[in-house]
């Protein structure tokens, strides 16, 4: 089996999920990836919170990561076509270049 060209992490956290994230986005992305015939190039994973709740539903695409925010059903099909099929990230939904750490290590010394 070959490595997928892209890994898509769709946040399944407690803040993104009620905003239309996770299940509906995963189903829409899986359907669009199948329709485009690129299912062997794309791996889709539900993830936990990535500390971008205010930007949710959030989706990261690797390599990159390219971090997308406020992802709608329309946006996820556009990301499938333009980013995952054509290799061009969809600039209008990109919210950051780097993922944020879940743990803020700079505050750890205040805990102990």
Which residues, 6+ apart, have CB-to-CB distance to 51 below 8 Å?
100, 101, 102
Quick one: DSSP state of residue 43? Answer: E
Half-sphere exposure (Cβ direction) of 24: Cα atoms closer than 13 Å? 13
Residue among 15, 20, 30, 96 that touches ligand FES (CB under 6 A): 15
- Is 80 a binder of ligand FES (CB under 6 A)? no
Exactly one of 25, 58, 59, 80 binds ligand FES (CB under 6 A); that residue is 58
Does the footprint of ligand FES cover residue 61 (CB under 6 A)? Answer: no
Which residues make up the interface to ligand FES (CB under 6 A)? 11, 13-16, 49-53, 56, 58
């Amino acid at each position: 089996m070959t490595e997928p060209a892209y890994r898509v992490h769709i946040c399944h956290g407690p803040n993104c999920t009620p905003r239309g994230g996770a299940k509906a986005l995963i189903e829409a992305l899986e359907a669009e990836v199948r329709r485009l015939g690129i299912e062997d190039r794309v791996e889709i994973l539900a993830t936990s919170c990535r500390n971008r709740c205010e930007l949710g539903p959030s989706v990261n695409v690797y390599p990159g990561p390219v971090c997308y925010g406020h992802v709608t059903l329309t946006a996820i099909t556009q990301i499938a076509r333009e980013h995952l099929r054509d290799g061009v990230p969809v600039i209008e939904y990109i919210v950051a270049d780097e993922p944020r750490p879940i743990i803020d290590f700079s505050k750890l010394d205040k805990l102990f």
